[in-house]
A and B are shown apart, each in its own frame.
Chain A
Amino acid sequence: QQQVKQSPQSLIVQKGGISIINCAYENTAFDYFPWYQQFPGKGPALLIAIRPDVSEKKEGRFTISFNKSAKQFSLHIMDSQPGDSATYFCAASSNDYKLSFGAGTTVTVRA
Chain B
Amino acid sequence: DGGITQSPKYLFRKEGQNVTLSCEQNLNHDAMYWYRQDPGQGLRLIYYSQIVNDFQKGDIAEGYSVSREKKESFPLTVTSAQKNPTAFYLCASSSGQGSSANSGYTFGSGTRLTVV
Is A43 an interface residue when CB atoms closer than 8 A count as contact? yes
Chain B residues closer than 8 Å to A45, beta-carbon distance: 107
> Which label, helix, strand, loop or mixed, suits the secondary structure of the A interface?
loop
Tell whether, in the assembled complex, residue A93 and residue B40 are in contact, meaning their CB atoms are under 8 Å apart. no
Q: If A9-B40, A34-B104, A44-B107 touch, does A95 touch B98 (CB 8 Å cutoff)?
A: yes
Is B90 an interface residue when CB atoms closer than 8 A count as contact? yes
Is A78 an interface residue when CB atoms closer than 8 A count as contact? no
Instruction: Choose, from A12-20, A55-63, A69-77, A96-104, the stretch at the interface.
Output: A96-104
Closest Cβ of chain A to B38, distance in Å, is: 10
Q: How many residues of A contact B (CB 8 A)?
A: 27
Report, as a range, how many residues of chain B touch the other chain: 20 to 34
Chain B residues closer than 8 Å to A34, beta-carbon distance: 104-105
Chain A residues closer than 8 Å to B94, beta-carbon distance: 97
Tell whether, in the assembled complex, residue A103 and residue B40 are in contact, meaning their CB atoms are under 8 Å apart. yes
How many residue pairs at the A-B interface have CB separations less than 8 Å? 68
Closest Cβ of chain B to A25, distance in Å, is: 14
Is A66 an interface residue when CB atoms closer than 8 A count as contact? no
CA distance A46 to B105 in the complex (A): 7
Closest Cβ of chain A to B22, distance in Å, is: 14
Instruction: Choose, from B13-21, B43-51, B64-72, B73-81, the stretch at the interface.
Output: B43-51
Tell whether, in the assembled complex, residue B99 and residue A93 are in contact, meaning their CB atoms are under 8 Å apart. yes
Q: Which residues of B contact A (CB under 8 A)?
A: 4, 6, 31, 33, 35, 40-45, 48, 50, 58, 90, 92, 94, 96, 98-99, 102-110, 112
Q: A45-B107, A46-B106 are in contact. List 17 more A-B contacts (CB 8 A).
A: A6-B42, A9-B40, A34-B104, A41-B110, A41-B112, A42-B109, A44-B105, A89-B43, A98-B33, A98-B45, A98-B48, A99-B104, A100-B45, A101-B35, A101-B43, A103-B40, A104-B42
